[in-house]
Copies of this chain bind each other. A is one copy, B any other.
Amino acid sequence: MSKGKLFIVSGPSGSGKDTILQGVFKKHPEIKLSISSITRAMRVGEVEGEKYHFISRDEFEELLKNDMLLEHNVFVGNYYGTPKAPVEECLNAGGDMILEIDVNGAAQVREKMPDAISIFIMPPSFEVLKNRLSGRGTETEEVVEQRMTAALGEIARAKEYDYIVINDQLDVAIDDLLSIILSERLRINRQKQIIDEVLEKC
Interface check A198, CB cutoff 8 A: yes
Interface check A169, CB cutoff 8 A: no
Interface check A63, CB cutoff 8 A: no
Copies of the chain in the assembly? 2
- Tell me the bound Cα distance from A119 to B127 in angstroms: 40
User: 1/0 per residue A173-202: CB within 8 Å of B?
Assistant: 000101110110011100110110111111
Interface check A165, CB cutoff 8 A: yes
Asked if B186 and A180 sit within 8 Å, CB to CB, the answer is yes
Asked if A191 and B166 sit within 8 Å, CB to CB, the answer is yes
Interface check A158, CB cutoff 8 A: yes
4 additional A-B residue pairs with CB within 8 Å, beyond A122-B198, A155-B195, A161-B188: A122-B191, A123-B198, A155-B198, A179-B186
| Contact sample, A vs B, 17 pairs, CB 8 Å cutoff | A122-B194, A122-B198, A123-B198, A124-B194, A125-B198, A125-B201, A126-B200, A127-B201, A152-B202, A155-B199, A159-B188, A161-B188, A163-B183, A163-B188, A164-B188, A164-B191, A179-B183
